[in-house]
Structure formats: structure tokens, C-alpha cells
A and B are shown apart, each in its own frame.
Chain A
Amino acid sequence: MNHLKPINRKAARVERATEPDVVALQRTGLPQLPHFPIGCSLVFSPGWEADRAGGTAGLCQPVERDLFDCHIGCYWPAQVPDQLNHAPDWTSKCAAAQKDWRKIDLIFP
């Protein structure tokens, strides 16, 4: 940020939490809203295709984000192991999905 400088620790947290996502198609003119493409069929939003202002940043989700969104944040029957009963430690080596997704174990039914 160029016009605001975080001073206390909460301000630094606010800044981190509102870090804009990578936006493929920049909108110009209006101030840019924080953009969190976490679309899902549970909410009737354009979701996966475009955000409410027509942005397409939500397209081409990285596979790891897609994976976590579906099997944790949503009931949608994702093609992932049953982490509640069968494979509780499935993601134990995956602290940050974006970085560690290669460490996710293969699980055989």
C-alpha cells in the first residue's frame, strides 16, 4: 500500500489478510475490491467463471485450491480420500497447499 502504512500489529494483519489475489484481468477506474475466488456451487454466484464485477481471476484455479475447497468447504463429493474416517493423516505433510501439494500422499481404497 502506498497511501496507508500499517503501524500496529493489527494493521499489519489487516494488510496481510486483504492482500489482493493475482488478478488476470485488471479492472480500471473504480477502486479494486479484495478478490477471493472461492467459488462453489453452493452459492449462486458466477463463481468459477467470473466474479460479480466480471473479473475472470477465478478461472483456472490451481488444482490444490480446488481440491481443498471441495472436500473441506463443501459437501460436494470430491474425488479425494475420506479424510474423516479412512485417511486422517492424508494432508499431514502439506502445511501450505500452494507450496506443499506435491507431498500429499497417494491413498488406495
Chain B
Amino acid sequence: MTVWAAREHHRFEAAGKPFVYLVPSAAIFEIDETADAVLRALRERPRSREDLAGGVGVDAALAELLRVQAIGERDAPAAKTPKIIPLAPFPLTTMVLNVTNQCNLSCEYCYEYGEDKIVDTENGKQPKFMSEQTARDSVDFMLKESGTNPVAHVTFFGGETLLNFPVLQQTIVYARQRAAELGKQVDFSLTTNGTLLKPEVIEFLAENRVGVTISIDGPKEVQDKFRVFHNGTGSYDVVAPKIKELLKRHTSRPIGARVTLTSGKMDVKRIYKHLTEEIGFWEVGFAPVTTAPNRGHALSDRGYDEMLEQFRDLAYEFLEASVDNRHHGFSNVKETLAELHKGVSKAFPCGAGLGLLGVATDGDVALCHRFAGSDAHKLGTVRDGIDRDAQRAFLESHHIADKTDCSTCWARPLCSGGCYHEAHTRYGDTQRPNLHYCDWIRGWTDVCLTIYGELAVRNPAFLAQFDDERAKEPVS
């Protein structure tokens, strides 16, 4: 006699209806009362058909649940996660160019200069600024490694990116010209702290349609707590007018703010309101600080709970706006909705080392911009190309199939263990899943699933925007 058992899934409710998120397929189904009751009974314990009450409706529901693998035979061996390493050469989508490793701010929590830094940017081997030649070599490398992709994305990063504005300008001109020769297009973006947004810089960024992300933490007292100049003075009064000027002139692309959340008083809603309504940002994305757990600014477990509550509030604000087809700029929820809509089920937490690579000031290629310049995370150079053996070894050792801690977690299709750099900072090992924020990830995924379900019922047309859009996150 066949005994049925529930397979991995996460049940949630939205708009008064039950839904299931299936793992690992990442398919989302709305289920009716009968299917919901069958699944609930099988979650309690495995049962045979005789053990489940009900008539033909239950038979049909069982068949459909089985068909989508929400349930299975209890005695069938558990399906193993297939370990498939993407074929090389994998086309490069995004190259993050660290044009300088110097910064005019001294944000205490910074992963690049603070206590958790990986690379010595003061006395290390790398030049402090990328040369024009290295930038050109990087562009050639990018265009070659992008394979048959028609569009290549270049993100300028630092340090403070605009400290090397001359090379940034020359690189854009050179990349446009080289891409045109090859019949390709290049899309440019950068991340900056906003301190060096002079009128001529703004003019150049607007004219060249360079996407801009500003690192800013919120209103004056929040911003000035950590984001300070070398002499300790806060940066808010310097950046706020410059950002307003940028937003006024640069209208060819939406401009987003990127907020680092730290311990202490956290007020996500207020920060969001300030940055959108008072400063004028189109979108705001939040991320908890990446740091070793013993630092003063590190988020505690309680801090993550608090952040989740506040994210939930703002996400519901996003929902109500989206139901009415009004814009809302909480980008975290939008990014997750895009992934839920496609049903991504990740073998790797992000594109680092795969479709995304970081380039250090000397032309060394690394996993991502956060590892740029680190010999331990080097994957070649822009002159000699990608070190395919190193890349393969990295992918082999970081696949979700080997993260046993994640093997029973329903949120793994989206999280896949989380940020390599966060794991490295936290545990000294890129292979480790980020177990310190599992509850937060599951909580946040549940919130986003609920928002997704609500939108699917109340304004399905809103979700159509995610049909073709590639999930592209700002670099932070």
C-alpha cells in the first residue's frame, strides 16, 4: 500500500487564500481547500489513501499534488540535489571595476577599510588608482568574456569611485568605441558616496546615461553617525545638496540610494521617507552591515528581528502602492519579487565568479568587487584572462549541493547560503552558509511571498513587469 508524504514546501496565505512555495523547484501554486487539507494532513505525518478522509475530490487533489511534487511516496528515496557546474566559458554579464581603493570618507563599518578589511589598501601591492591602460585592458577583457551577449555591463566602484573620475571618463569613451566596433552595447553604472558630485561630474553622468547608486544612510543624525570624513565630521551636509543637484539634472535613469543598516536605533521607514520624499530618490535599498559579530555596529539577533519587522511594514506599504499602480521605491522587495516571479532556484547565491567579476586597481580579477585585490580570491587578470581552473575549483566547492546546513531549508532556492563576502567576514570561509541570518532570510522570504500572492490576486498585471526584466541588483 502506498503511503504518501509531504515533500519540501512552504505554505503561506495571501488575500485570504492558501498558497505553496515548492522546494527546490521554486514554483508557486495557489491551492484550494481540498489540496490544502490533504497537504496539512500529510505534513502531520505520512498517510495512506485510506487514512485520508474524503472522496474523489481528494483523489484528484492527491494526483495534482503528486504531479507537481508537493507530495511523494514516503518510501521513495529522497531526490538528491543535482550538482551541475555551469559550462565554461560562461559569458560575463557584469564587470565591476574598482577604479581606486582610496576613499575620502572613513565610515567606521566599511568592509574595505574598517577592521574587517581583506586587502591592505594603504601599504599593499596594488596601486591606489587604476591606470588608464589597466582600465582599457579591462574593457577589452570584458568585451571578450561577454561572449555572444549583445550588452555588457560595467560598474565603476571604489573606494570612492569619483576620486578617479578622469579614468572613469576615458574608460566610458573607450568602451563605447570598442563596443561599437564589435556591434555590442555597454551599459555603465557606478556607486558613489556623493561627496564629489561637482556640476561637471553630474553633467557627464547625465549625458552618458550612467546609472548612479548613492551610498547614504538616511537623515543627518543617522548618516553622520558612521559616514564621516577622516577628521570625524559628518558628511550629510556635504552630500545632501549635491545629491539634490544630481537628481535634478540626471533624469535619464532612475537613481537609487543604498543604505547600510547597523546596530542601535533602526528606523527603516523614516530613512525611506527621508530619502524618497525629502531628498528625492527614486528607489532605496537596504542592507545589514557586513561585519564580524563582535563589532559594535554588528546586528545582533534582536537587530535582525527588528529589521524584519520594519521591512515588513515598508513592504506592505509597497504592496498597497502597487495594488493601485503607484510607484514605490523599496527596492529590496522588488528584487525579491522579480526572483519569485521567475521561480529562480539557485545553485550559487549570486553571480560572483560566474557572470560577475571584480577587477582590482592592478587588473587582478577577483570573485567580485568585495574581494578585488585579494590573492586568495583571485580568478586571473584582465591581461591573461580568467583562470578557468581556479574558477572551476571555486564553483565546485561552493555549490548548494554541498551546503548540508541548507539542505532542509525551504528558503534555499533564493538564498543558497548567502553572500560569500559576508561568510568570509563572519566565519573566515566563503564556503560557509551564513547561519547567523537564516531566520531573517526565511522571515523576509515569507513576507515577499505574501506580497507576491497578494499581488497575484489583487493586481496580477503588476507582476507582468518582471516577465522579461533581468534581475540586476545594484552593486554594494
Contact = CB atoms under 8 A, between A and B. Distances in A.
B28 A7 contact: yes
Interface stretch (A10-18, A42-50, A64-72, A95-103): A10-18
Interface of B: 2, 19, 22, 25-32, 34-35, 49, 57, 59-68, 70, 340-345, 452-453, 456, 467
A9 B26 CA distance: 10
B25 A14 contact: yes
27 contacts: A1-B64, A1-B67, A2-B64, A3-B61, A3-B64, A3-B65, A4-B64, A5-B29, A5-B30, A6-B27, A7-B28, A7-B452, A7-B453, A8-B343, A9-B467, A10-B25, A10-B26, A10-B27, A10-B28, A10-B343, A10-B344, A10-B345, A11-B29, A11-B68, A14-B27, A20-B67, A32-B63
Contacts, number: 84
B276 to A, nearest CB: 28
- Which bucket holds chain A's interface residue count? 20 to 34
A97 B407 CA distance: 39
Pick the 5 closest A-B CB pairs, nearest first.
Answer: A10-B343, A31-B63, A11-B27, A3-B35, A3-B61
A31 B59 contact: yes
B68 A14 contact: yes
Nearest to A11: B27
Contact of A2 (B25, B28, B60, B70): B60
Chain A: interface secondary structure?
loop
A60 interface: no
Contacts of B452: 7-8
Contact of B31 (A3, A9, A29): A3
**In the complex, which of the residues B29, B34, B66 has the most CB atoms of chain A within 10 Å of its own CB atom?**
B29
Nearest to B36: A3
B27 A8 contact: yes
Contacts of A31: 59, 62-63, 66
